[in-house]
Amino acid sequence: MTGKIAFIGLGAMGQPMAANILRKEIVLTVHDIDRERMAPLHNLGAVFADTVAEAAAGAEIVVTMLPATAEVEEVVLHAGGVLDTLASGSVLMDMSTIAPLGTDKVAAACAAQGVAFIDAPVGRLASHAIAGESLFMIGCDDEAAFERVKPLVEAMGTTIHRCGGVGAGIRTKVVNNFLILSLTQVNAEALTLAAKLGLDIGVLKEVNAGTTGTNGQLHVNFATKVLKGDVEPGFKIDLAHKDMGLALEAADAIRLGLPVGAAVHAVYGAARAGDYADKDFSALLDYACELAGIDKVRL
C-alpha cells in the first residue's frame, strides 16, 4: 500500500492489530496517549506521532481503535482531532465499540467534509488480535473506500462480515456483545450451581458440548481463562459493563425493553465496583463463587 496510514489507539486490541499490519510491511504512523504503548512497535518499523493531529496530517487512511464513545468523539471531532487535519477523499475506519448514535454522529461529520467513513468493530478476543485472527463487522456505503482499507483488515483478521451500510457494523457488534456478555453471566451462574451441587465440572462441560446449550464463552473463553485460573484481562469487566450499557442505550432509543440485559448489566456494575473491574470478564465466575461462599471453580 502507498500513501500515509495512521493508526490511533494502541490498547489491548489495538497494539497487536497494528503490529500485524506492520508485519505485512505496511508502513504505519501510530499514536496513543500512553507513549509506552507505542514502544513495542518501534522494531516493526512504526512511525511515532506525538499528537492526533500529527498522526492524521497527510494521511489517506486513519484507523481508530479507542475505548468508548467519548474518546472517539474527542479524537475525531474535537479541535486538533482527525477531522481538523484529514483531507477530503481520505478514509476514516473506526474499529471501536461505541454507541451506535455516536457512530452516526461521526459518520455525518465525515460526510460533511468529504471523508469516507467505515465502521468496523472487532469480534473475538485479545488472543485472536495477537494471532491476527480477529473478526470484523463492516458497515460501509462506499465500495471504493472498502477496497482501500481491505488489505489492512485482512492483515488483522481472518473473517470479514459485510453487515450493511454505515452504522450496521456497530449495531451488529452491540447485539453480538449483548449475547456474549449475557452468556458469560449465565455460565458463571451455571458453574456455580454445578459446584454447589457437587458435580464434576469437566463432565458437565462434555455434556454441554453435545447439546444445544453449548456456547463459545464456556468452551473457549472460560476454558482458556478463568477455569485455568487466569483472570488477567483479555477483555476487562469494566469494558464489559460499558458494552452492556451500549445495548441498553440502543434499546432505549427505540423503546425496547431488555429485562435480562438490565439484570446482567447490574451484575457487571456490582462486580466492577470492587477488585474485579480490571479482571477478565470470565472472572464473573469467581465473583459468583465469592457471592455463593464457595471455592473458585477450576479445571
| Amino acid identity, position 118 | I
Which ranges of the chain would DSSP assign to H, the alpha helix?
A: 14-23, 52-56, 69-77, 82-85, 100-112, 126-131, 143-156, 168-196, 201-209, 216, 223-224, 237-253, 259-272, 284-292
pLDDT string in tens for the chain (299-residue length): 889 999 999 999 999 999 999 999 999 999 999 999 999 999 999 999 999 999 999 999 999 999 999 999 999 999 999 999 999 999 999 999 999 999 999 999 999 999 999 999 999 988 899 999 999 999 999 999 999 999 999 999 999 999 999 999 999 999 999 999 999 999 999 999 999 999 999 999 999 999 999 999 999 999 999 999 999 998 999 999 999 999 999 999 999 999 999 999 999 999 999 999 999 999 999 999 999 999 999 99
Residue 231's contacts (CB-CB under 8 Å, 6 or more residues apart) are 225, 279, 280, 282, 283, 286
As a dihedral over the C-alpha atoms of residue 188, residue 191, residue 195, residue 200, rounded to 10 degrees, the angle is -150
Per the rule left: phi > 0, alpha: psi between -120 and 50, beta: everything else, 87 is: beta
pLDDT at 199: 98
Superfamily of domain 4-166: NAD(P)-binding Rossmann-like Domain (3.40.50.720)
Residue 156's contacts (CB-CB under 8 Å, 6 or more residues apart) are 17, 20, 21, 129, 132, 134, 136
pLDDT at 196: 98
* Planar angle of CA 68, 169, 217, nearest 5 degrees: 75
Listed by start position, the domains of the chain span 4-166, 171-292
Output the CA–CA distances (angstroms, integers) from residue 295 to 194, 196, 281, in the order listed. Answer: 12, 10, 18
Considering all CA atoms of the chain, what is the largest pairwise distance in Å, rounded to the nearest integer? 64
CATH code: domain 171-292 is 1.10.1040.10
Helix (H) or strand (E) holding 139: strand 134-139
| Amino acid identity, position 145 | A
Q: Which of 45, 90, 36 is nearest to 63 (CA)?
A: 90
pLDDT at 1: 80
Q: Which of 124, 65, 139 is nearest to 98 (CA)?
A: 65
pLDDT at 2: 81
pLDDT at 125: 84
Give me the active site residues, please. 173
Do β-strands 116-119 and 91-94 pair in parallel, antiparallel, or remain unpaired? parallel
pLDDT at 162: 98
* 187 three-state secondary structure: helix
